[in-house]
Structure 1
Amino acid sequence: MKKRFLFGPIILAFLLFFTTISIPNSWLEAFVPKDRVEKSATELNPMMFQGTYLQSKMLEDSKYLPIYGSSELSRLDPYHPSNYFEVNNKGFTPYLVGKGGSQSLIHAINFAAHMDQLKGKKLVFIISPQWFQKKGSDESHFAPNFSALQAYDLLFNQKIDQNVKKKMIKRMLKYHAVKNDALLAALYKAELKQDHTTLSLLSPAAKAYRSVLEKKDLYYSMVDSPGPERTISQSVKGKSWSELKQMAAKLGEKESRSNKFKLIDEAFRKIKPKMAKLKNRKKHLSYVQSVEYGDFQMMMDVLKESGADPLFISVPVHGKWYDYTGVPKKGRTGYYAKIKKQIEAEGFQVADLSGHEYDPYFLKDTIHLGWKGWVYVDKAIEDFYKKDSRS
C-alpha cells in the first residue's frame, strides 16, 4: 500500500514532465503577452539574457536598438539611454542586454545563438576596462551569466566558422559551469577531437535536453520581471548636447558632495572606511595583458561573420581614483590604444571616450558610467544610428 502511495506521485510527476515538454513551442508562444518584448527592454532580466526567445523577437523588430554591456546598464539616471531616447524620439527604442559579469565570452555565445538575425543589424556594445584583468573572466563572473541553452545551441550551430567555434568551446571548457554539465562537456570534448562516435551517441540526448531548455525559456518569457526601479524624467527632452552636459554636471555635483573624487555619495560611503588600505594598493594592475582580448576577438569574429553593424563604446576608468589606488597610467592608456586598434582592425566603429578619465561627473563611481558620461554615450549612439551602415 505504501509503495503505491510512494510511486504514484513519482509516476504523476513524470507524466506531467513529459506532457509539458511535448507541448509544441508554437502553442506556448501564444501565451507570451504581446507587450512582453517591449516591457523586457529595460527589465535587465537575467532569464532574458540567458534565453533566446525574447531576444529573437527583439531582433526581428526594427524599432529596437540593442545595447550590450555589463553592470553599467543598471546605473539609471535621466541621462541613461533608456530614459533619454524614450523622451526624445529618435526612431528607435534601446533594448538593454547584460549585467555584472557579462563579459566578452558570454556575449559571444549569445551572439552565436542569434547569428541568423544579426545581418545588417545595428547594435551598440559598451566595453568595460575592468574585464581586462590578466586572467579575464573568472568563475564567479562567468557562472551566473552562463546560458546552458546558448551553449547547447553553439554545439549544434553549423553556420558559425568552425575554427571560431572550436576556440569558443576550448575556452568554455576552462569553466566549472561547463565542465560540471557532464553531457555538454563530453560533447564539447568530442567536438574538439572530431570524435564522431561520441557525437552520434550523445547528440540525441543533448537535443532532447535543449528542447527542455527552450521550453523553460518560453515559460519564463511569459512572466514580467520587475527590473530596476526606474522613473521617466522629462528634464532631458528637447535639450541641446551642451545643455545636457551642464545639467548632468549639476546633478553630479549635487549627488557627490561628500568627497573630492566626485563619486556618488552612496558609493563613497562604502569606500570611505577602507580609504587608507586602498591607497597605492594596485601598483601592479594593468589592463594591457589579458586573456580577455582573445575572448573579445572571438566575439568580434561572430559579429563579423554574421554581418552585424556594431558600434563599440570604449569607456574610461576614473582617473583620480585610479591614481589614488596607484594604478599606473601606462596600464590604462596601453589598454585604450590596444582595444581601439583591435576593433578598427575588424572594420568596426568605435566611440573612444578614453580621453575623459579626469572629466568630473563622467563616471558615477569608480568604474561605472553616469551623469555626463551617459550624455556622451547618447550622442555617440544617436550619431551612429543616423549614419548609413558601414559608411
Structure 2
Amino acid sequence: MKKKLWMIFGPVIVAIAALLILLWAPINFKTVTPEKVNQAATSLDARVLKGENIKNNAEEENYIPIIGSSELSRMDPFHPSSMAQKYHWKNQPFLLGNPGTASLTQAMNVSGMTKLKNNKAVFIISPQWFTKKGARSDAFKYYFSPLQLTGFILNSNHGDKDLNQYIAKRIIQLGISKGPIENDAVRRIAAGEKITSYERTYVELSRSSLQSQDALFGSSFLQDHQNKINKATSKLPDNYDYKDLNKLAVKMAKTHSRENDLQIGDSFYKKQLFHNMKRLKNSHTHADYLHSPEYNDFEALLYMFKQNHVQVMFVIQPVNKKWMEYTGMPQSSLTNFDKKIKYQLRTQGFDNVVDLTNVKNPNYIAEDTIHMGWRGWLMLDKKLAPYYKDKKANPEQTQYKMDHYFLTDTWANDVDF
C-alpha cells in the first residue's frame, strides 16, 4: 500500500521539493542570454521594471537605460530604439517605463540597478505627473515589487537617513502592505529606527528566494517588439541627415493625423478622444503643476542617481501645443513647472537638461496630447546620439550636492524660486 502511494504521490513530492530548493537556495542562475537582454530592452514588460536581474545584465553590455513612462511605447521610426538600430549607435536604449510609472516608482526601480553605478542614464520627465495629489496609489502598488521592498529594507542602514525615512513614509502613505514583518520594518525605518536582527534575517531569506525567482522567471515569455522596430527602421533613409529626417517626420505625422486638426495620431484620437471632445473643451483652464508631492518623490529619485554616481540626461517632454489651446491650458502653467523643476535639478548639480516644452516650431512634436512622437523624438535623438557614444559616466558630471529642503512639504508647494 505504501509503495503504491509513493508511486502515485512520490514524483509530485520530489518535484515540489526540487522547486522549493530552486526558489530558496542562494544559487546564481545564469538564465539571461544576450538575446534575452536585447528582447527585454524594448519589451516594456512590467516584470523587467519590477525585477533586477535582467536590468543588471544589460548594464554589463552595450545598453543605456531610458527611464520614463508611457511615451516609451510610441515606437515610430523616430523612436530612440529605431534610430539607434538604423544608424548603429554604439550603445542601445534599454526602455524602462509603463503607463502610470512616475518618480517614486522609478526611484525604487533605480535602487535595484546596482550595475548602473558610474554609468549613464536618460530620464524623461512628464509635467502631468506633478498634480496636487501626486502619485496614484494603485499604480505605485502595481509596480512596487516585494524584491524592491526587501532591497530597500536591507539597505536602510546605508545612505541618507532622511531619504530612507521619506521613502518609508511614502510606502506607508501609499498603502503598501507585504506582510507583518516587512510592514514593521518599514514602520521602524519611517520612525528613524533600525530594523531588528530578526527582521533582517527574515528579509534576507525572503530576498534570496525572490532573487532566485527573478533569475528564473523574470525574463521568460517577454513581449517581443523587434518586428515593430524593424518595420519602423525600414521607413528611414540609410544616411542620417537631420533636415531630411525632419521633413520625413512631418510627412509621416500629417499622414497619421488626417482625421483631426490637433496634430494627434488618428488611432489615439479615435480611441481616446473622439467621443469626449465636447467635454474636454476648455477643461484644463485651471491646470496647476506647482503644488505636488511629486516634487519630493522626484527628489528621492535624484538621491538614487546621486548614490550610484549616475550621469543623467533629463528630458522634459512637451505638451501638444494645439491640445493646450483646445483645453484652455495656460502656457504659464507649463512655463512655471519648467522653471521649478529645472531649479530643483540645477541647484543640485544635475545640469544636463533637454527641455522640449517651448521649442520654436512645436508642430508634430507630440504624437498625442502629452507624449513625444515624430519630431519630438527626432529632436531628442539629436541629443542622444552623441550621449550614447560612451556609457561610462564622466565623474565631473556626477558631483551632485543634495539639499534636504527638496524633500519637504514646503518645497512641494513653493512658488517662489
Question: CA-atom RMSD, angstroms?
Answer: 2.5
Cα distance change, pair 194–48 in 1 and its aligned pair in 2 (3 A): same
Q: Which residue of 1 aligns with 2:216?
A: 219
**Cα offset, 1:78, TM superposition:** 0.6
Q: Which residue of 1 aligns with 2:411?
A: none
Cα distance change, pair 222–96 in 1 and its aligned pair in 2 (3 A): closer
Q: Which residue of 2 aligns with 1:80?
A: 79
Cα distance change, pair 231–202 in 1 and its aligned pair in 2 (3 A): closer
1:352 pairs, out of 335, 351, 355, with: 355
Note the residue ranges of structure 2 that are not aligned, 5 or more in a row.
Answer: 398-417
Q: Per-residue displacement from partner, 1:236-273 (whole Å, max 9, x unpaired)?
A: 43221111111101100000011110101111113111
Letter in 1 for 2:42: T
**Cα offset, 1:138, TM superposition:** 0.8
The alignment's TM-score, normalised by the length of structure 1, stands at: 0.90
Q: Which residue of 2 aligns with 1:209?
A: 206
Aligned-pair identity in percent equals 31
Q: Per-residue displacement from partner, 1:27-54 (whole Å, max 9, x unpaired)?
A: x22x433422122111111111110001
SS at match of 1:78: coil
Q: Which residue of 2 aligns with 1:302?
A: 304
Contact 1:288–1:338 (CA<8 Å) still a contact in 2? yes
SS at match of 1:346: coil
Distance in 2, Cα, partners of 1:311 & 1:320: 27
Matched, 1:364 2:367: yes
Matched, 1:144 2:142: yes
Distance in 1, Cα, partners of 2:344 & 2:237: 35
Q: Which residue of 2 aligns with 1:41?
A: 41
Q: Which residue of 1 aligns with 2:252?
A: 251
Distance in 1, Cα, partners of 2:247 & 2:65: 28
Cα distance change, pair 55–249 in 1 and its aligned pair in 2 (3 A): same
Contact 1:285–1:327 (CA<8 Å) still a contact in 2? yes
Q: Per-residue displacement from partner, 1:199-229 (whole Å, max 9, x unpaired)?
A: 2232222222212211111112352412446
**Cα offset, 1:336, TM superposition:** 1.1
Deviation larger for 255-264 or 330-339:
330-339
**Cα offset, 1:356, TM superposition:** 3.5
Q: Which residue of 1 aligns with 2:400?
A: none
SS at match of 1:143: helix
**Cα offset, 1:322, TM superposition:** 2.0
Q: 1:266-345 counterparts in 2 under 5 A? A: 266-270=267-271, 271-345=273-347
Q: Which residue of 1 aligns with 2:403?
A: none
**Cα offset, 1:142, TM superposition:** 1.2
Letter in 2 for 1:267: F
**Cα offset, 1:294, TM superposition:** 0.5
Q: Per-residue displacement from partner, 1:259-303 (whole Å, max 9, x unpaired)?
A: 110101111113111111111122222111111011111111121
Aligned length: 383
Distance in 1, Cα, partners of 2:12 & 2:128: 48
1:21 pairs, out of 10, 14, 23, with: 23
Q: Which residue of 1 aligns with 2:53?
A: 53
Distance in 2, Cα, partners of 1:181 & 1:285: 39
**Cα offset, 1:154, TM superposition:** 1.0
**Cα offset, 1:155, TM superposition:** 0.8
Cα distance change, pair 194–267 in 1 and its aligned pair in 2 (3 A): closer
**Cα offset, 1:120, TM superposition:** 2.6
Cα distance change, pair 351–222 in 1 and its aligned pair in 2 (3 A): closer
Matched, 1:238 2:236: no
Q: Per-residue displacement from partner, 1:77-129 (whole Å, max 9, x unpaired)?
A: 11000010111013111111111112111111122223x43333111111111
Deviation larger for 179-188 or 370-379:
179-188
SS at match of 2:56: helix
SS at match of 1:354: coil
